[in-house]
Amino acid sequence: IGLILFFFFHLYQPARNIALEQDITANFTKVYNVPKNVATILKTSCYDCHSNNTNYPWYSNIQPTRFLMENHIKEGKENLNFNEWGNYSARKQNNKLDRIAKQIKSNEMPLSSYTMIHKNATLSATQKKEIINWISQLKDSL
């Protein structure tokens, strides 16, 4: 019975976070003139959970990993979605920029559970400084 339940549990595959069509003008990198180095860092370290397109690793096909990943992605997108940035109000964008900088400074983001598996997503001190400085400059110009 346990083996049968295990088999049926693997049949459940939640929809993947891959948007085939989307408004690219709302993307964070289109709303702001994001320097290439900052955009690359964000895409590598943040976009899997905070965008409409996740780069799924091989183990995402195995349950319960897939289920846990999808819940994590859903929660991440509810808090911040870089692909929907242009749809946020100016006040919400400003608050999100503050939160991004604060969470990077306090090492809350990216999550350690994510960087444990995705080593390339770990932010170096230089990368953190680049993002935080750029956000500070952006906020000064807004």
Cα distance between residue 101 and residue 89, in whole Å: 18
Q: CA-CA distance, 34 to 20, in Å (whole number)?
A: 23
d(CA 139, CA 137): 6
- Provide the CB-side half-sphere exposure for 74 (13 A, CA): 9
Alpha-carbon gap, residue 115 to 38, rounded angstroms: 18
In sequence order, the 6+-apart residues with CB closer than 8 A to the CB of 29 are: 39, 82
Task: Locate 59 and state its tokens.
Answer: 């183990």
| Cβ neighbours around 24 below 10 Å, total | 10
- pLDDT tens for the chain, 142 residues long, are 777 777 776 666 666 667 666 667 888 989 999 999 999 999 999 999 999 988 888 888 777 788 888 888 999 999 999 999 999 999 999 999 999 999 999 999 998 888 888 899 999 999 999 999 999 999 988 7
Q: What are the tens digits of pLDDT across the range 8-19?
A: 766 666 666 676
8, 111, 125 from 128: Cα distances, Å: 43, 14, 5
Residue among 28, 25, 31 at smallest CA distance from 100? 28
pTM of the model: 0.83
Give the C-alpha separation, 1 to 133, whole Å: 57
